[in-house]
Structure 1
């Protein structure tokens, strides 16, 4: 059981080093093919131009996006060409409003999509739609890698955020290649419900399921001592020396997460280790 087709989507070499390094490390560890889709993003919205705008403006933005795509492709070829893994790379230009379609099409035929953290200094407006397109429209699991992270081909300790949701179970099933190979998997349950089938044994059935796959599991039941679940997970990851967090993505609507915040958005903003997500 392994990931054999890995994809990354790059739009800016300045914030892509960690994701590229992780992609290469995973490809080597999993004996997988690494693919880089290098996009130049036309960030204009032609439908909202003022009346006097002319074709020269459109041509200029297109030329800029094309130059960015070529530079990003050169960057990807340099990184992958010296990596020793099987790889391919190609470039293209997409308008920011149409970006998701291109990402989703490629993600649909990938086992795992490795992407940079979508938030932070220097990260463009296109980073978040790329993550969401891979998750929602491409139906692929996504590994989001924070800036400056030292790549690991196989995480030794993995935290699994468990809240009995469909999203969490989907992520766990898609993360099985990582979980089976890990030295330790810690199932984290925060404030388990007082009523329901798992009230007397939080995480018990999940632990049983994973154990039958040969996964070495422990269950950590934590109190909600901080306002945000993401803060608790991040702190516990630091305390346990975890190399990866597995969690379901966007239990609420994306609109609600964008406006009010949520565990997914907060995790992507603050995590210092890779986050494996699926929806």
Structure 2
């Protein structure tokens, strides 16, 4: 009898072909960090033969800060100045993207606070993936509400880069932080193309103390089996620890030299609590490796 079963490599390749990113959006703001995001986006796009769209955001001054006739004049002048600055950045970005060929484009959004975040979330919805930077430093922290809007209203996967993080391509090792929630399920589903292409995948859950017939590992059995049916061999690990969940996840990421951490984005606004605490916010603030989040 001929053995017609697929090898694990063949199954992985088949899974990767069946799940791929075709449209990747990148947040651009005219800062030096644009080059970091573009480098990561190019590497991902090359692996999936995907189309890249740069979303250049030019934030206009908040009209609420101005009042009276003088305020109207002042905000008009500021809007003109910000628009002109945006023209310079847009020209530079178009020249940068032009080197990538005709399958890539730049979209510019000039809008006031509140409206800009909604516009970017709308752009995220027709893409498979949205790449941005963790809003943790002075230069990028002003985009916190924009990242939050994409995370909770964009409906697609959010790929967040630590500031100035070096390109780690291809992604070989993926750490999945799993809880039995809709958000975790969404994160795994949205990240499946990246997970399928990895050579090492570990699914972990954090327990402050072991419980259950398998010490808590039973919560990982079904998701591990699901990944296996996609041709993905994953290791399941329960992190029983007295340390904060974020520290436990980052320690495990360091131990396995993870290139990417996949987690559900929990909360309703301002990056509020994960099931075990403020894990989403803590990882955004401190992870040294890229994060993949979905809500």
The TM-score, its normalising length taken from structure 1, stands at 0.89
1:175 aligns with 191
Gaps of 5+ in 1: none
Give the distance between the partners of 1:61 and 1:194, measured in 2 at CA.
59
User: Is it true that 1:257 corresponds to 2:275 in the alignment?
Assistant: no
Q: Which structure has the larger Rg? A: 2
Match of 2:117 among 91, 100, 103: 100
User: Is it true that 1:87 corresponds to 2:89 in the alignment?
Assistant: no
Give the number of aligned pairs: 273
2:64 aligns with 47
Match of 1:190 among 186, 206, 215: 206
1:20 aligns with 38
Query: After superposition, where does 1:66-81 map in structure 2 within 5 Å?
Result: 66-81=83-98
Give the distance between the partners of 1:203 and 1:25, measured in 2 at CA.
31
Gaps of 5+ in 2: 1-18
The 1:263–1:165 alpha-carbon spacing in structure 2 relative to 1, beyond 3 Å, is same
1:154 aligns with 170
1:123: Cα distance to partner? 1.4
Query: After superposition, where does 1:94-133 map in structure 2 within 5 Å?
Result: 94-125=111-142, 127-133=143-149
Match of 2:284 among 264, 268, 278: 268
Give the distance between the partners of 1:248 and 1:19, measured in 2 at CA.
22
Give the distance between the partners of 1:143 and 1:268, measured in 2 at CA.
11
1:108: Cα distance to partner? 1.0
- Structure 1 vs Structure 2 CA RMSD: 2.3
Name the SS of the counterpart of 2:25 in structure 1.
strand
Name the SS of the counterpart of 2:202 in structure 1.
strand
1:195-228 Cα shifts (integer Å, max 9, x gaps): 599946241111000001011210121123322x
Contact 1:73 1:90 in 2 (8 A): no
Name the SS of the counterpart of 1:28 in structure 2.
helix
Match of 2:255 among 203, 228, 239: 239
The 1:197–1:60 alpha-carbon spacing in structure 2 relative to 1, beyond 3 Å, is farther
1:153: Cα distance to partner? 4.7
